[in-house]
Every structure is written in C-alpha cells, then in structure tokens.
C-alpha cells in the first residue's frame, strides 16, 4: 500500500510494491498522503515513486469487474486524483523505477517532472489495444503535457516507450540509471521546494485550466 515519508523538504510517496493499481483503498491511501503533503507548511516538494517492477499499472480492472455499477463514480474518483496532483501547490516529480501503464502513465503525467529508469521498464498508454478509449478529461491531461505528435503516437498506436525513447519524445524529462533514479528525483525536488505556495497554485490552476475543469478539480476556477 502507498506510504509517505518526509526527508527534509521532500515528501516521498511510495505507491507500493505490487502492480499498484488504483483499488479504492489505494486511492484512499494516496489521497491521505496528499492531505499530509498539502497540509504541511513551508518549503516542500513531492517525489512519487514505487518499489519493484511496477510504478503503476493504472485502473484496478479486477475490482471494477466486480463493481460495474460503481464504474462512473470510480472513474470520477480517479480523475479527481489526477486533477489533485496536477494542481498540487508545489513542484512534483515522478520517479518511475518500473512499468508505467494506462492510468498509471496518466498519473505520471499529472506530475510536473518525470524521471524514468533508462535500462528497463516501459511507459505506455495501451488503451487503443484494450478497447478502452480515453475519457475527454484524460485526453485533455495528456494534451496538456505532450506535443501533438507524441500525444498522437502514444494514444493512437499504444507505443511502449523505454526510458531512452520516452526521453527523446519529451514524455520524461530525464532517463537515468536505476541506482540514480530516486536521488535524481529528490535532488530536482529539493531544488524547487522553495516554490511551494499559493503563487504556484494559481499558476498551475491557470496553466492547466481546461484539463482541471474536465477532470473535476474541486478548487479550479470555473470560468
């Protein structure tokens, strides 16, 4: 299950050591971590990472299969989490030590900066192969981060990007060795911890206004 630690100015959120799919309990634990991060004061930044082979594989399709009547509420909860990370009033860094798929990849895009392991693991939006089109709101999130060419390739062809290719495509900002992954992310976050606060909150709310409104951010201006 997700767990939060603080090291000086940097909160490190570990998404877990399984496939880290978005089970309702997992969503609750991540939201609890974000409550703590948001509730803290002073300089701070967030690094999100995980343990083992997966960063996150996204939606919990097994749980969904048993709760089809809750599909819409579940997707809404996922989208509100994406909005929450996107709008977080501090710099956020995803340190992707393993596979990053589907809604897990969108969760990574909600962060300001992405650092990916160069030698193993894929970043992929497999929705075109799964028969699960992106919602309008998820589409807006992806378009808020990627160039038109890369958004098209990632969304229409479901390409699997290794770290080096993901860096070349501008999906991730850095591709580094596994042993440097977390330290690189923490270093990037530490350098930006002083940015935390209401100014960055307002900057982000305007920069991502269309995506935030569609995702259902509860704090975004509605006009």
**By C-beta, is 52 or 210 nearer to a second copy?**
210
Query: Which residues make beta-bridge pairs with 27?
Result: none
Smallest gap from residue 95 Cβ to a second copy (A): 17
Kindly calculate the radius of gyration of the chain based on its CA atoms and give it in whole angstroms. 16
Smallest gap from residue 1 Cβ to a second copy (A): 30
Smallest gap from residue 109 Cβ to a second copy (A): 10
Q: Which residues bind a second copy (CB under 8 A)?
A: 91, 112, 127-136, 139, 143-149, 151-152, 155-158, 170, 173, 192, 194-195, 197, 199-200, 202-204, 206-207, 209
**By C-beta, is 40 or 207 nearer to a second copy?**
207
Tokens for 173?
């900002």
Residue whose token pair is 């860094």: 93
Query: Residues 86, 191, 11, CA angle at the centre, nearest 5°?
Result: 55
What whole-number distance in Å separates Cα of residue 129 and Cα of residue 53? 22
**By C-beta, is 11 or 208 nearer to a second copy?**
208
**By C-beta, is 29 or 220 nearer to a second copy?**
220
**By C-beta, is 19 or 112 nearer to a second copy?**
112
Smallest gap from residue 52 Cβ to a second copy (A): 28
| Residues 6 or more apart in contact with residue 140 via CB below 8 angstroms | 210, 211, 214, 215
Helix ranges, the chain (H): 24-39, 61-66, 71-86, 103-109, 127-130, 136-145, 148-157, 163-168, 181-191, 198-207, 209-215
Pick from 102, 93, 108: which is nearest to 75 by CA? Answer: 102
Smallest gap from residue 59 Cβ to a second copy (A): 15
Smallest gap from residue 152 Cβ to a second copy (A): 6
Contact status, residue 189 vs residue 91, Cβ threshold 8 Å: yes
**By C-beta, is 40 or 130 nearer to a second copy?**
130
Pick from 92, 114, 103: which is nearest to 27 by CA? Answer: 103
């Amino acid at each position: 299950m997700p767990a939060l630690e603080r090291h000086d100015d940097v909160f490190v959120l570990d998404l877990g050591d399984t496939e880290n799919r978005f089970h309702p309990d997992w969503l609750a634990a991540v939201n609890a971590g974000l409550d703590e991060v948001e509730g803290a004061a002073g300089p701070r930044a967030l690094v999100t990472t995980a343990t083992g082979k997966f960063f996150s594989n996204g939606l919990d399709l097994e749980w969904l299969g048993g709760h089809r009547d809750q599909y819409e509420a579940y997707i809404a909860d996922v989208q509100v989490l994406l909005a929450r990370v996107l709008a977080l009033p501090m710099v956020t860094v995803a340190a992707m030590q393993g596979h990053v798929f589907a809604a897990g990849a969108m969760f990574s895009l909600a962060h300001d900066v992405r650092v990916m392991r160069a030698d193993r693991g894929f970043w992929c939006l497999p929705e075109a192969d799964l028969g699960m089109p992106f919602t309008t709101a998820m589409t807006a999130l992806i378009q808020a981060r990627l160039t038109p060419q890369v958004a098209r390739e990632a969304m229409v062809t479901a390409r699997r990007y290794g770290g080096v290719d993901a860096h070349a495509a501008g999906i991730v900002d850095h591709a580094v060795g596994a042993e440097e992954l977390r330290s690189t992310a923490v270093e990037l976050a530490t350098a930006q911890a002083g940015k935390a606060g209401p100014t960055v909150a307002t900057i982000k709310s305007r920069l991502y206004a269309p995506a935030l409104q569609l995702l259902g951010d509860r704090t975004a201006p509605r006009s």
